[in-house]
Each structure stands twice: as C-alpha cells, then as structure tokens.
C-alpha cells in the first residue's frame, strides 16, 4: 500500500498568525476533530516566546493535555526554535521535533536575529542533541523556493544547505515554500539532485498556496516519489491582515489529490469537513478549499 504521510500543521503554522487567540480547550476541540478524520501526525505547537507568538502561550498546557489524552506519542510533533525551546519540549513525551532554518541571512535575521551560518549551526546542534536523546528531528528549510526579503535563491545554494542538513543527520529535510513562490519545475530542480543521494522518505514538502501552485508542486513531488507533506486544515494560516499572505496548502486538497492519484493518506475526507468547520468557527476565518465547497454542495454543473 503506497502511503502518504500528511503532517497536519494547522494547530501550529495555521494558528500562529491568527489574531483571535484560541484557548487550550479550543485547540483540543480542533485536534480531536482532526484525529477523528484520521489525521494522526499533528504538529501541535511551537515552544517559542509567547511575546513573539502569543497564540503559542499554552504550548506546555496544550502538549500536556494532548499527551494526557493517551494518543501514541509518535503521532505528535512540536516546533523548537532553539535549544531553550528544545528543553521545554523535552518536558513532554514528544518523539519528534521540528527545527527551522531559513535560506538567507536576511530571513534568518528577521526570524531569530542570526545570520544564515549561525542559524545553521544552531540547527546542527539541535540535530546532534535530538539524536543523543533518541528523538526524530525534521528540519524545515524556510524560503527554499524564494525568500520574502531577497527573492529567488540559486538552486545550488538551496541544494548545498539541504545537503549539509541531511548529511548532518536531519531525519527529514522539509523543503519549505514559505511564501508560495515555488513551481513544479523548481521543485523538480531541487528534489531530483537530492534524491540521487538521499531516500525519498528523508524529504518532505511544506507548501503555501499563495499563488495557486501548491497542488501542482505537490503532484510533481508525488511523481518523484515524495510521500511526506505538511498541510493545514482548510488552508488555515497566513496573516489574516495581509491578503497576499495565505496559508498552507489545504489538507483536504492534498488528501483529495493523493487519493485520486491512487495513494493512501488514511484521512477520511467526509469526516474532515467537521475539522474545517471547527477551525473556521474558532478562528473566525472563512476556510476550505474547492473540494470542501464541492462536498458541502454536491451540486453539479451541467454545461
């Protein structure tokens, strides 16, 4: 059975820029709806400063509540920006954590006030530490298909960064199209050389649908054998104040594409509708990709 792993990041990437603060019980309600739909790989939160990301103020309380509910620990992940965040995350039985490094000096400076090389060193230290502790570490390479400050980056630069991270033992390198600047040809240009040296299950795609090419990029990835994708319920995410800053590729879109390609996600699209509705109610955003609107209407045009 050819299985695709959908890493649901709605609770983390989807919420982090939402202006309406969700309580822990809200998040538990959303997580439950996602799990009922078969989404078992959930990135729950990030262990960042609540001053930087107020939505993550309950990172500990929410993690605790989720683990207390008794789901298998390997199903949950959390993002750790640095060693301090890592230590906080280690207070919980996470078996997998995510780290981030951005593709340029500018982007890393904006994110964590470090240049690229220092940011990279920080992540390399996290990889080492995680492996000492027996944890799986995913590394997101942010802005891998374009930097919000410096624009497009040379393919060889992204490849060199990717190879350093994978070579240093990152269990999964997630090519992250943070601003939705990518396209299938660029995805192939990045993935094909990496697949010469590393197996497909060490590579993932994190896509934003800013310009509408998230699904074509995902298809290009699937065709190359990639089976790990981040996605966000209903397309939750982005900055609601900035119309051009859109969310992750919608989980329902990605699930629908994968299933139609003959791949298995384990996600029940019918049941996922409830998760999209809950996410919309909690955030006050209008959510849902075309396949969701289609499922809600089931009206068919005839001409």
Could you identify the residue written with the tokens 């997580």? 31
Count Cβ atoms within 10 A of the Cβ of residue 251 and give its class: 0-12 exposed, 13-18 middle, 19 or more buried: buried
Q: Which runs of consecutive H residues, i.e. helices, occur in 37-181?
A: 59-68, 83-89, 105-112, 116-132, 155-167
Q: Is residue 147 exposed (0-12), middle (13-18) or buried (19+ Cβ within 10 Å)?
A: buried
Q: By CB under 8 A, is residue 122 in contact with its own copies? A: no
Neighbour count for residue 192 (Cβ, 10 Å): 10
E strand or H helix that includes residue 231: strand 228-231
Identify the residue among 213, 267, 272, 282 touching its own copies (CB under 8 A). 213
Residue 234 contacts its own copies per CB under 8 A: no
Position among 125, 183, 193, 271 found at the interface with its own copies (CB under 8 A): 183
Between CA 238 and CA 207 the distance in angstroms is 12
226: three-class secondary structure by DSSP: coil
Read off the tokens for 44: 């729950």
Q: Tell me which of 246, 265, 273, 283 binds its own copies, using CB under 8 A.
A: 246
Options 45, 210, 265, 285; binder of its own copies; rule CB under 8 A: 210
Interface with its own copies by CB under 8 A: which range of 25-33, 68-76, 177-185, 191-199? 177-185
The vertex-248 CA angle with 243 and 250, nearest 5°, equals 105
158 binds its own copies (CB under 8 A): no
| 209 forms part of the interface with its own copies (CB under 8 A) | yes
16 contributes a contact to its own copies by CB under 8 A: yes
Check if 147 is active-site. Answer: no
Q: Does position 185 bind its own copies by CB under 8 A?
A: yes
Q: Does 299 bind its own copies (CB under 8 A)?
A: yes
Out of 256, 265, 272, 285, name the contact with its own copies by CB under 8 A: 256
- Among 57, 125, 159, 239, which residue interacts with its own copies (rule: CB under 8 A)? 239
Q: Residue 18 — left, alpha, or beta (φ > 0 → left; ψ -120 to 50 → alpha)?
A: beta
Binding status of residue 211 toward its own copies by CB under 8 A: yes
Assess 289 for contact with its own copies (CB under 8 A): yes
Q: Which two tokens stand for residue 208?
A: 């934003």
Q: Which of 205, 149, 160 shows the shortest CA–CA distance to 182?
A: 205
Question: Pick the catalytic residue: 147, 239, 258, 302?
Answer: 239
Nearest in space to 165 (alpha carbons), one of 153, 175, 151, 152: 175
Residue 40: strand, helix, or coil: coil
Residue 227 engages its own copies in binding (rule: CB under 8 A): no
In whole angstroms, what is the distance from residue 155 CA to residue 149 CA? 17
- Residue 301 lies near its own copies (rule: CB under 8 A): yes
Q: Does residue 257 belong to the site contacting its own copies (CB under 8 A)?
A: yes
- Residue 111 as a binder of its own copies (CB under 8 A): the answer is yes
Residue closer to its own copies (CB basis): 128 or 150: 150
Active site residues: 239
Binding footprint of its own copies on the chain (CB under 8 A): 13, 16-17, 107, 110-111, 148, 178-180, 183-186, 208-213, 215-216, 218-220, 238-239, 242-246, 253, 256-257, 260-262, 289-291, 293-294, 296-303
């Amino acid at each position: 059975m050819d299985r695709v792993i959908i890493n649901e990041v709605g609770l983390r990437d989807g919420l982090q820029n939402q202006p309406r603060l969700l309580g822990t019980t809200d998040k538990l309600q959303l997580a439950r709806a996602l799990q009922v739909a078969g989404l078992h790989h959930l990135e729950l939160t990030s262990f960042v400063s609540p001053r930087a990301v107020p939505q993550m103020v309950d990172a500990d309380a929410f993690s605790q509540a989720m683990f207390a509910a008794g789901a298998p620990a390997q199903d949950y992940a959390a993002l750790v920006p640095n060693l301090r965040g890592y230590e906080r995350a280690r207070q919980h039985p996470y078996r997998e954590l995510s780290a981030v490094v951005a593709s340029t000096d500018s982007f890393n400076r904006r994110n964590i006030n470090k240049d690229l090389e220092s940011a990279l060193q920080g992540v390399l230290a996290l990889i080492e530490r995680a492996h000492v502790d027996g944890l799986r570490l995913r590394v997101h390479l942010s802005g891998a298909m374009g930097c919000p400050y410096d624009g497009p980056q040379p393919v060889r630069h992204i490849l060199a960064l990717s190879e350093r991270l994978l070579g240093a033992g990152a269990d999964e390198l997630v090519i992250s199209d943070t601003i939705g600047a990518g396209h299938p040809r660029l995805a192939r240009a990045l993935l094909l050389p990496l697949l010469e040296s590393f197996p497909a299950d060490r590579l993932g795609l994190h896509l934003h649908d800013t310009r509408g090419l998230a699904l074509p990029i995902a298809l290009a990835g699937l065709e190359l054998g990639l089976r790990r994708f981040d996605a966000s319920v209903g397309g939750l995410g982005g900055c609601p104040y900035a119309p051009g800053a859109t969310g992750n590729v919608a989980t329902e879109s990605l699930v629908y594409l994968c299933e139609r390609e003959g791949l298995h996600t384990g996600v029940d699209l019918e049941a996922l509708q409830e998760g999209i509705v809950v996410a919309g109610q909690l955030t006050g955003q209008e959510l849902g990709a075309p396949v969701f609107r289609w499922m809600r209407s089931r009206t068919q045009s005839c001409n």
